[in-house]
Structure 1
Amino acid sequence: TNLLGNAIKFTDRGSVRILLHLEHGGGAPLYRIDVIDSGIGIAADKLGSIFEAFVQADTSVTRRFGGTGLGLSISRRFARALGGDIVVSSVPGQGSTFAIGVACGPLDGVAMLNPGQVLEAETARLAATEQAHWQFPAGQRVLVVDDGPENRELIRLVLEECGVAVDQAENGKVGMDMALAGDHGIVLMDMQMPVMDGYMATRLLRSQGYARPILALTAHAMKGFEQQVAEAGCSGYLTKPVDIDRLLAAVADALGGRLASNADRAAATPQAAPVAAPTPIPTPALALAPAPALVPAPGPAPHAALPPLVSRLANRPRLHSSIRKFTSRLASQLDAMDTAWQAGDLAELAALAHWLKGAAGTVGYDAFTEPSAELEEHIAEADSAAITASLQALRGLQARIVEPESPADQLNDIKAST
């Protein structure tokens, strides 16, 4: 994901491709993944240093795009720990190719899939998943404690769709009082909130004998976080942006819910037939040719050619109201971020960046997550140029947002077509 994220970040126009295949060389076979972009490229004299920690190919790139220079270093360490490596070739102004090789071990008797089988099986799996739904015992209640109205609203809609009642609190103090007074099967507790944060609220609840599960919600699941929430008394945690499937599974585990699926469709999901041995795929060794030249396409400036941003939840009509509430609020929040920056209020700016990182991803606009996290880093470092560039980048993302249609818009479309 780091290599793919970099490719997208540094490619204003053209394409980013991922190629996956099995490479047979003189030694053990390798899984090979090529990430190929038509972006800004890397100068030849910089290729040897980009895998060093805290090093980027160009300081102007850091100012424009942000980042810490750790991603490639960590990615190469992972690849080498798995018995492989990462190599790169690049032509400035034309693009880069990063190739990952990972040792896959003995393959005798391992089933091999062709692309058609994979597509057919995945299509059937997705169709079965769409028909699956969670069932919960009657009368269950959940308490959601989060200062982000988008998070609370989305979780409420998802759980109520499964027949679970939801109560909401906007900070830890209100949440603690509601938990002690109510009968909730589980509490979903954000860790960073005003008035009283989730750590303090959880500690106070446990000190008063509260024994129900408390699940932490956080956008900062860094090293040591799991121990911190466990010491506070949390039963577990979920990261933000909230993944709906993981959320439902965690709540179901606490409330005794189960996943009811279409058994016939699941049974019909095609299975890959085993083969005696893999067929060798003729591929070049893990030494790459330079990326091919890209012929610039005619048209407007590169930023105008960027694709629209559509929420990944756009295919769930019940969640459209939450998506539209976020997009309506986004403009004022970005204005507030600009105001905080102009006033030199870094604490307020950091709080708004943290809100955006969680809220945007929760409603399916994942493109905001990494830039918002990088903005938080730049604020912590007091990097003025990078902060300004990040704020401009967020405005650029906002301009590309496409909202799901409201019922009134859909009705107007129907009338216009008749």
Structure 2
Amino acid sequence: LKVVLGDIGVSVVTAENGRVALDRLASQDFDIVFMDVQMPEMDGYTAARLMREKNYSLPIIAMTADAMVGAEQKCLDAGYSEYMAKPIDIDLLVNRLAEHLSGEPVAETEAATLSPITADQAPALDALPDEPDKIVSSLPMTNPKFRNIVEKFVTRLGDQLAAIDSAWNQRDYTELKRLGHWLKGSAGSVGFTQFVEPARAFEQFAIDKADAHIPDAIQKLHSIYSRIDVEPEQKAQPVLEIVKPLKGYVIPEKLTSRYLETKPKLRPIIGKFISQLSARCDVVEAAVTIKDFHEIEKFGYWLKASGGSAGFSAFTEPARDLENYAKEKQLDSIKHAVGVIRLLNSRIVTTDVE
């Protein structure tokens, strides 16, 4: 997360555990705290409670891979302000920062130069190739800042896998658990969700000291790593197949953010959303091709939240429908909803975004 936050212009100070975080707060001023709930020496729950007892009123955002019922309330009871489930969605993270910080968000260079997208430039739903052997980040790799984040992660991941091999040779189960927990939370945050479930299983094997399963789990992680492609081929973009809007959807001739004039500080966020939407549409279309309903549902959830946050309420209903269709695995309805979202995307007017 330090790389992600640093690349959007946020000054970051890190702490390796809750006790160090308390020391940092005592020695300098901060605007916001992002804190894992699982840390050595002093966990996040204890640290958050002590921060509140010391009358620190700044936002404290929990980060946890625990998605069980009651996890959020446990964080709130401890003193956290909010809860974010791992893998961390970068767009939601940026939106949270925009809400909490009084400073103006750092503008993306790309956001200032975006040109309107026309319908004949968007790709067809069924024309994307299926390349299951390659793994690419779901972040928009055409954006240099996101490419830098992904490349740094891939480099670090290679080092961490070597550390996993070393820890296994030494039967250091504590270190294996720590590395598995790191991978479980970090990989999805940079667009590699393929690691999340294998890393979760690996972490549990380390906790259980399940020697019979750990070698295969490590091999699985190495196998996924070997399939990463940080420079996917640029495919030709076929013409969009226009779909008839579903009943009840509003498809305006031109689509602009309602915040452009009323909330000028959000313009960089609007530009980021527009920039990422096209790239994420490409990802979800590929997911439709291989019937990856989890990825489709994740896209619907992201768009439902991020579209409204960026002032594009027209996306909310089709995004919500898409999320539900993915849960029910209704492929025809999914294709229709994705087509509607593509059509809405093609009508976004971006020339006023700064």
Shorter-chain TM-score tier: 0.5 to 0.7
Other-structure match for 2:323: none
Using the alignment, how far apart are the partners of 1:316 and 1:239 within structure 2? 25
Describe the SS at the equivalent of 2:215. helix
Other-structure match for 2:14: 168
Other-structure match for 1:308: 134
Work out which of the residue numbers 217, 224, 229 in structure 2 matches 1:390: 217
1:285-324 per-position Cα deviation (integer Å, ceiling 9, x unaligned): xxxxxxxxxxxxxxxxxxxx85211112223311222222
Describe the SS at the equivalent of 1:402. coil
Using the alignment, how far apart are the partners of 2:173 and 2:42 within structure 1? 21
Work out which of the residue numbers 161, 165, 183 in structure 2 matches 1:356: 183
Using the alignment, how far apart are the partners of 2:49 and 2:137 within structure 1? 36
1:218-274 per-position Cα deviation (integer Å, ceiling 9, x unaligned): 122323322321222101111122101211222233235899999xx99x99xxxxx
How far does residue 177 in structure 1 lie from its aligned partner after superposition? 2.4
Work out which of the residue numbers 231, 234, 237 in structure 1 matches 2:80: 234
Q: Determine whether 1:342 maps to 2:192.
A: no
Work out which of the residue numbers 403, 406, 416 in structure 1 matches 2:230: 403
How far does residue 404 in structure 1 lie from its aligned partner after superposition? 4.5
Which amino acid in the other structure matches residue 152 of structure 1?
K
Q: Determine whether 1:225 maps to 2:65.
A: no
1:115-143 per-position Cα deviation (integer Å, ceiling 9, x unaligned): xxxxxxxxxxxxxxxxxxxxxxxxxxxxx
Other-structure match for 2:199: 372
Q: Determine whether 1:191 maps to 2:41.
A: no
Q: Report if the CA contact (8 A) 1:179-1:187 is conserved.
A: no
Alpha-carbon spacing, 1:219–1:315, altered in 2? closer, same or farther (3 Å): farther
After TM superposition, list the pairs within 5 Å mapping 1:143-162 onto structure 2. 151-158=1-8, 160=9
Which amino acid in the other structure matches residue 6 of structure 2?
R
Other-structure match for 1:251: 97
Using the alignment, how far apart are the partners of 1:194 and 1:326 within structure 2? 23
1:162-210 per-position Cα deviation (integer Å, ceiling 9, x unaligned): xx54433343233222223433332111222234332222122111111
After TM superposition, list the pairs within 5 Å mapping 1:13-412 onto structure 2. 151-158=1-8, 160=9, 164-255=10-101, 306-313=132-139, 314-404=141-231
Using the alignment, how far apart are the partners of 2:177 and 2:101 within structure 1? 36
Q: Report if the CA contact (8 A) 1:324-1:404 is conserved.
A: no
Using the alignment, how far apart are the partners of 2:181 and 2:14 within structure 1? 20
How far does residue 156 in structure 1 lie from its aligned partner after superposition? 2.4
Describe the SS at the equivalent of 2:186. helix
Q: Report if the CA contact (8 A) 2:2-2:12 is conserved.
A: no
How far does residue 371 in structure 1 lie from its aligned partner after superposition? 0.6
Using the alignment, how far apart are the partners of 1:374 and 1:214 within structure 2? 29
Alpha-carbon spacing, 1:181–1:203, altered in 2? closer, same or farther (3 Å): same
Q: Report if the CA contact (8 A) 1:191-1:197 is conserved.
A: yes
- When Rg is computed on C-alpha atoms for both structures, the one with the higher figure is 1
Other-structure match for 2:291: none
Using the alignment, how far apart are the partners of 2:38 and 2:54 within structure 1? 21
User: Identical aligned pairs, as a percentage?
Assistant: 40
Describe the SS at the equivalent of 2:164. helix
Using the alignment, how far apart are the partners of 2:56 and 2:222 within structure 1? 44
Using the alignment, how far apart are the partners of 1:381 and 1:244 within structure 2? 32
How far does residue 368 in structure 1 lie from its aligned partner after superposition? 0.7
Unaligned residue ranges in structure 2 (runs of 5+): 120-130, 233-354
Q: Report if the CA contact (8 A) 1:180-1:210 is conserved.
A: no
Using the alignment, how far apart are the partners of 1:239 and 1:338 within structure 2? 28
Alpha-carbon spacing, 1:168–1:340, altered in 2? closer, same or farther (3 Å): closer
Structure with the larger strand share: 1
How far does residue 344 in structure 1 lie from its aligned partner after superposition? 2.3
Describe the SS at the equivalent of 1:184. coil
Using the alignment, how far apart are the partners of 1:353 and 1:395 within structure 2? 13
Other-structure match for 2:262: none
RMSD: 3.0
Q: Which runs of 4+ in 1 moved over 6 A?
A: 257-262
